[in-house]
Amino acid sequence: MTPVIVRVPAKINLQLSVGPPRADGYHDLVTVFHAVSLFDEVSVAPADQDAVAVSGEGASQIPANGDNLALRAVNALRTALPGVGEPVRISIKKRIPVAAGLAGGSADAAAALVACNELWDTGLTHEQLSEIAADVGSDVAFAVHGGTAVGRGRGEQLTKALVPNAQYHWVLAFADGQLSTPTVYQKTDELRSEASPVNAPALDATLMAALRAGDPVRVGNALSNDLQPAALALFPGLRKTLDAGKEFGALGALVSGSGPTCLFLARNSERALALAVSLSGAGVCRSVATATGPAPGATLR
């Protein structure tokens, strides 16, 4: 039987508003997720026993056992559908860097869910898959969904953003290092403990108006991320990367999610390419990539 192949995008957060820590250790969020055209490819085929093989960007750092998020997603699907789910071999071709604030692991989990839904002919809807996805990780439902969406709760409660079909041109600057998401949240709490009480997270009306207008200049000005101060405190070199991007004319510059990837918005594809070349030449990051958004969620090939 031929394997089922799914392509799945990286995500960035155009806004990430983070509330105080909850009793369960998570933080309530309001975030504007945006999928970009940097894709992992996940193929799933029947096998004698479950197995995971990872190749490409950062492959050696990804567990190839039961801790692998894609395999955890497959097991979550089996739990939701008792009696369904022959053993599978999952092959992951990575282009999304690991622990980079781009939800690469969540993307692979989402792809595995979509692939097994097809392979096992389980016929779950996107909504049903999203519910299972939410149990696997906070960003997994969005990787199934794709596009631009508002996330609430831990990030798993999604509403499609009703915005026109504008295409945005991004430059991603990959850092020489990684940041652990729990550590960045913890540092955020620490930095805030010295300041006044933390407000509940809220959607930024200015950003939403900019997205509705499809205006990259306004979107660039409205990008925000409550995790950025902590990411900069833990990885001070990122400040140089952000400053360089602004100097080279980016419409907006932001740490992506919990970092350390930095993202920059450009007016069009030519400007994005020029910015990528300049950043690359400035030696302020490990490597750069251009990407467009919004990109579709996990999709069968």
Size of the site for ligand C5P (CB under 6 A): 12
Interface region with ligand C5P, contact rule CB under 6 A, candidates 2-10, 22-30, 91-99, 169-177: 22-30
Residue 26's identity, in one-letter code, is Y
Please confirm, yes or no, whether 160 is among the known catalytic residues. no
Residue choice 68, 91, 138, 148 for contact with ligand C5P (CB under 6 A): 138
Q: Which residue of 85, 97, 146, 155 would you call a contact of ligand C5P, by CB under 6 A?
A: 155
Select from 82-90, 164-172, 177-185, 192-200 the region that touches ligand C5P (CB under 6 A).
177-185
Let me know if 11 is a catalytic residue: yes
Question: Which stretch, 135-143, 217-225, 236-244, 267-275, contacts ligand C5P (CB under 6 A)?
Answer: 135-143
Torsion angle of C-alpha atoms 68, 69, 70, 75, degrees rounded to 10: 90
How far is residue 198's CA from residue 214's CA, in Å, rounded to a whole number?
31
Q: Identify which of residues 185 and 264 has a Cβ nearer to ligand C5P in the complex.
A: 185
139 binds ligand C5P (CB under 6 A): yes
| Identified catalytic residue from 40, 50, 139, 226 | 139
Q: How far is the CB of 291 from ligand C5P (least distance, A)?
A: 21
Q: Which residues on adjacent β-strands are paired with residue 92?
A: 42, 54
The pair of structure tokens assigned to 297 is 């969620």
Considering the complex, what minimum distance in angstroms separates the CB of residue 102 from ligand C5P?
A: 12
Contact between 27 and ligand C5P (CB under 6 A)? yes
**CA atoms of 54 and 63, how far apart (whole Å):** 9
Contact segment (CB under 6 A) with ligand C5P among 57-65, 133-141, 221-229, 283-291 equals: 133-141
Distances 21 to 28, 43, 84, 220, 232 between C-alpha atoms, Å: 7, 37, 37, 28, 20
Active site residues: 11, 139
Contact footprint for ligand C5P (CB under 6 A): 25-27, 29, 137-139, 154-155, 181-182, 185
